[in-house]
Amino acid sequence: MINLVRIDHRLLHGQVAFAWTKSLGTDCILIANDEVAKDNLRMSALRMATPSGVKLVIKSIEDSVQALNSGVTDKYHLMVILESIKDADELTKQVPSIKNINLGGVKTEEGKKQISMAVFVSQEEIARLNQMNQRGISVEVKMVPEDKGQNVMDLIK
């Protein structure tokens, strides 16, 4: 069962990983990212950041889609972490059971506008967020469980 789908450019990191896993009772984290799935150094670093007692799985977007749709992940209290809005858009197009996304962090880059403390979006990302919204996917900006969430559609207007 998917407890949370989160977009965070840092992927898995200390305080947030521990806060979310504890709050949700997560026992498995799936990092869905094409580049990380091929990078042994990044995979090693992410394994070190994984909370004790939590299983970490790192797969490409395509392999993640297959795993989520096959039911093999249903036995876990699962947190899915994506690096970008683009990855979230691609995943949600192929995994119809995902209806809610937590937007935790998107890094600042040239040409992006800030919509919250830790979220910066480009025009392309705004278009993708609008497309997800049109498909019935709710995206909430929320860094940690204790924060009050904000609907991304209210922030990008």
Catalytic positions:
13
* Identity of residue 88: A
In angstroms, the CA 12 to CA 31 distance is 8
For 79-112, b/e burial (b = at least 16 CB within 10 A) is bbbbbbbebbbbbbeebeebeebbbbbbeeeeeb
Which candidate, 13, 60, 62, places its Cα nearest to that of 37? 60
Q: Residue 75 phi/psi, 5° resolution? A: -75, -10
In angstroms, the CA 29 to CA 77 distance is 9
